[in-house]
C-alpha cells in the first residue's frame, strides 16, 4: 500500500520539476523570442502565413480577436460535422461503419470543437479511421490551440500588452508547442506498445477456442494529443483504461504528465510576462496545495474501500471496482483528480465506481475550474479570482483595487462576474429540468443520491469543457445530446468572450504609480485571501448540489445503507 503513495508523490515531483522549463519556453514562443525550434519552424510558419494571407504582426482589438475565434471555430465545426455525417462514403473505414444520427454527430462536433470531448458513443464501433483522424484529431489540435491562444491573449491584456493576433497565436500554439510535444510523446507511446496502424480489426482465438475480434487503429497520435491538449476523448470506448491506449505504468506516467504539463506551466508563463515570478510561484503553490488536498481526499477514500464490502470480508480492502489492476487504487485516484483538475476528461478507471470522496473531489474540481484548469482558459479563470480578490480586499481595507498597476473598475468586475456565473447557469438549469421530468429525460441507472451525482456530473463536465462522466447514464438520446451541447457552447464561448473583453479593457488602462497605499498581490497574505475567495465562492454556489450527491451518499454508505 505504501507503494501507491510513493507513486503519487513521484508523479507530483516530476511535473513540479518540468513546470518552469515548459513555462519559460511557452513565454519565449509568444513573446517572439528565439527558441531552439526556430530553424525548423520559421520556414513552415512563413509558408502558412503566405498561403493564408495572415499578417502575424497585425494586432487585434478585443472584438476582432473574439470574431476571429468564433468565425474560425464555426468553419471548423461545419467541416467536421459533414465528415462525420458522410463517413460511410469516405476511405479508411475497414469495418464499414455507417452514418451516426444527426444529433450524435452534432453533439460530437460541438464536444470536440469546444475542447470538451464528451462522448455519447463508443469510438471503435461508431466512427471510422477517417472520422477519428481527420475530424476528431484535427479538432483536438485546433481546440487546444484556441484555448491556449485565448489564455495567452488574456495574459497579454492583463499585463498591459496588446492582445496579439489570434491566427498567429493559433498557428504558433500548434507548430511550436502542441505538435513538437505530440511527435515526441507519440513516438514514446508507440515504443511502449500503443498501436498506430490503418489496418482493420484482427481476429484472435482465445484459450477456450472461441474467436475474438480485437479493434485497433491509429491510436498513438490520437492518444498523445488527447492528453496534451486537455481533450480527453478516447479512441476506444473505455478511454485510457483500454490496454491499447494506456498499456503499462510508463504510458500511464507519460499521459498523466501530458495532462498537467501545459496548464501548470502557463502559471509560470504569466510570471514571465508580468516580470513577477514571485507572484507566479505563490499562485502555483496555492493551486498545488488545493490540488494535493483533493488528491488526498480521493486517494484515502479509494484506499479505505467500501465499508459495506469491508464488513463482509472482515478486513480493509481498497476499492478496486471499475479499476485496472495494472494501475490500482493509487494511480486511478491520482488520474481522476488530475483529469478533472486540468479539464482533460480522459479516464483510466470508471469514475462511476469511485467512492463518494472521489466523486466529491472530481465534481469540486470541475465546479471551480481553476485547479490547473483547461488549456489556457483555466489560467485565465484563475486570474479572474485574483481580480475579484483584489476588489474585495480593496473594499475591506479601504484601498483602490488595482492589479498589476491598473485599476479594477465596474466594467472589469461585471465581466469577471459573467465568467463565473455562466458556469452554474449552464449546470443547474438543465439539471433542474431533468429532475422535473425524471421518467422521460433522466436516463439514470442508479437510484438515490448516486443518480443525482450522475446527472449533475454530466452537465458539470459539459459546462467545464471536461468531458468525463459517471458512466451508466443513458446519454445518447436527443435530449442529452442537445442539452449537453448547449452547456458546452455556453461554458466555452460566453466565457471566452467575457475573458477577451476584460483583457482588452485592462490593456487599454493607463498604469498608475505604485505607492504605499497600493495593495500588493505578490504576498502570502493576499494569496491566502485569494484561496479563501475561491473556496468560499465555490462552496456557496455548489455546496447544495454536493450535499444532495456525494456527501449524502457517503453518509448513507457509512450507516450501512
Q: What length is written for the chain?
A: 561
Is 111 within 8 Å of 154 (Cβ atoms)?
Answer: no
- Cβ-Cβ contacts under 8 Å for 547 (sequence gap 6 or more): none
Cell of 504: 482588452
Is 11 within 8 Å of 253 (Cβ atoms)?
Answer: yes
Going from the C-alpha of 354 to that of each of 304, 369, 537, the distances in angstroms are: 12, 20, 25
Give pLDDT tens digits for 457-499.
Answer: 999 999 999 999 887 788 888 999 999 999 999 999 999 999 9
Query: CA torsion, points 536, 538, 539, 544, in degrees to nearest 10?
Result: 150
Confidence tier at 357 by pLDDT (50, 70, 90) = very high
Give pLDDT tens digits for 243-271.
Answer: 999 999 999 999 999 999 999 999 999 99
Cα angle vertex 453, ends 456, 538, to 5°?
A: 60
Please, what is the angle between helix 524-546 and helix 377-397, to 10°? 110
Count of structural domains within the chain? 1
DSSP single-letter state for residue 99: P
pLDDT at 1: 64
Cell of 272: 514571465
| Distance of alpha carbon 399 from alpha carbon 24, whole angstroms | 33
pLDDT at 491: 93
Give pLDDT tens digits for 402-459.
Answer: 888 888 888 999 999 999 999 999 999 998 898 888 777 777 777 788 888 888 999 9
Give pLDDT tens digits for 84-101.
Answer: 999 999 999 998 999 999
pLDDT greater than 90 at residue 510: no
Q: In terms of residue numbers, what domain contains 293? A: 2-558
How far from each other are the two terminal CA atoms of the chain, in whole angstroms? Answer: 28
| Distance of alpha carbon 417 from alpha carbon 411, whole angstroms | 10
Give pLDDT tens digits for 268-282.
Answer: 999 999 999 999 999
Which residue from 519, 535, 534, 532 is spatially nearest to 390, judged by alpha carbons? 519
Amino acid at each position: 500500500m505504501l507503494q501507491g503513495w510513493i507513486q503519487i508523490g513521484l508523479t507530483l515531483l516530476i511535473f513540479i520539476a518540468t513546470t518552469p522549463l515548459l513555462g519559460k519556453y511557452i513565454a519565449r514562443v509568444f513573446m517572439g523570442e528565439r527558441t531552439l525550434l526556430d530553424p525548423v519552424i520559421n520556414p513552415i510558419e512563413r509558408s502558412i502565413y503566405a498561403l493564408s494571407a495572415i499578417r502575424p504582426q497585425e494586432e487585434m482589438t478585443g472584438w476582432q480577436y473574439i470574431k476571429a475565434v468564433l468565425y474560425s471555430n464555426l468553419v471548423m465545426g461545419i467541416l467536421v460535422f459533414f465528415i462525420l455525417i458522410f463517413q460511410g462514403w469516405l476511405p479508411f473505414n475497414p469495418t464499414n461503419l455507417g452514418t451516426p444520427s444527426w444529433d450524435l454527430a452534432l453533439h460530437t462536433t460541438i464536444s470536440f470543437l469546444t475542447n470538451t470531448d464528451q462522448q455519447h458513443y463508443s469510438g471503435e464501433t461508431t466512427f471510422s479511421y477517417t472520422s477519428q483522424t481527420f475530424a476528431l484529431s484535427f479538432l483536438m489540435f485546433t481546440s487546444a490551440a484556441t484555448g491556449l491562444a485565448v489564455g495567452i491573449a488574456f495574459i497579454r491584456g492583463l499585463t498591459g500588452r496588446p492582445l496579439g493576433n489570434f491566427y498567429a497565436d493559433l498557428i504558433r500554439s500548434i507548430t511550436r508547442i502542441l505538435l513538437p510535444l505530440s511527435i515526441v510523446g507519440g513516438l514514446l507511446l508507440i515504443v511502449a506498445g500503443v498501436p498506430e496502424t490503418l489496418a482493420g480489426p484482427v481476429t484472435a482465438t482465445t484459450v477456450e477456442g472461441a474467436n475474438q475480434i480485437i479493434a485497433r487503429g491509429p491510436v498513438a497520435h490520437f492518444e498523445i494529443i488527447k492528453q496534451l491538449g486537455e481533450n480527453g476523448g478516447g479512441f476506444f470506448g473505455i478511454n485510457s483504461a483500454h490496454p491499447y491506449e494506456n498499456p503499462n505504468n510508463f504510458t500511464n506516467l507519460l499521459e498523466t504528465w501530458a495532462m498537467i504539463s501545459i496548464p501548470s506551466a502557463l502559471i509560470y508563463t504569466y510570471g514571465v510576462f508580468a516580470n513577477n515570478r514571485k507572484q507566479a510561484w505563490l499562485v502555483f503553490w496555492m493551486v498545488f496545495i488545493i490540488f494535493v488536498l483533493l488528491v488526498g481526499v480521493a486517494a484515502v477514500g479509494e484506499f479505505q474501500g467500501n465499508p459495506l464490502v469491508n464488513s463482509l470480508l472482515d478486513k480493509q480492502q481498497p476499492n478496486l471496482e471499475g479499476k485496472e489492476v495494472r494501475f490500482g487504487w493509487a494511480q486511478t485516484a491520482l488520474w481522476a483528480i488530475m483529469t478533472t483538475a486540468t479539464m482533460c476528461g480522459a479516464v483510466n478507471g470508471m469514475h462511476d465506481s469511485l467512492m463518494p470522496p472521489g466523486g466529491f473531489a472530481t465534481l469540486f474540481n470541475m465546479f471551480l475550474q481553476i485547479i490547473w484548469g483547461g488549456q489556457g482558459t483555466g489560467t485565465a479563470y484563475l486570474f479572474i479570482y485574483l481580480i475579484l480578490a483584489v476588489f474585495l480586499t480593496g473594499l475591506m481595507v479601504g484601498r483602490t483595487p488595482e492589479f498589476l498597476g491598473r485599476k479594477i473598475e465596474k466594467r472589469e468586475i461585471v465581466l469577471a462576474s459573467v465568467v463565473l456565473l455562466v458556469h452554474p447557469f449552464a449546470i443547474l438549469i438543465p439539471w433542474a429540468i431533468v429532475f422535473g421530468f425524471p421518467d422521460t429525460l433522466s436516463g439514470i441507472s442508479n437510484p438515490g443520491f448516486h443518480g443525482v451525482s450522475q446527472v449533475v456530473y454530466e452537465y458539470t463536465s459539459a459546462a467545464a469543457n471536461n468531458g468525463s462522466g459517471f458512466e451508466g447514464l443513458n446519454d445518447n438520446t436527443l435530449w442529452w445530446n442537445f442539452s449537453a451541447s448547449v452547456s458546452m457552447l455556453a461554458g466555452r464561448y460566453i466565457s471566452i468572450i467575457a475573458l477577451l473583453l476584460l483583457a482588452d479593457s485592462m490593456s487599454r488602462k493607463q498604469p498608475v504609480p505604485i505607492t504605499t497605499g497600493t495593495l500588493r498581490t505578490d504576498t502570502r497574505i493576499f494569496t491566502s485571501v485569494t484561496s479563501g475567495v475561491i473556496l468560499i465562492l465555490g462552496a456557496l454556489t455548489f455546496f447544495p448540489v454536493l450535499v444532495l450527491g456525494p456527501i449524502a451518499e457517503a453518509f448513507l454508505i457509512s450507516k450501512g445503507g
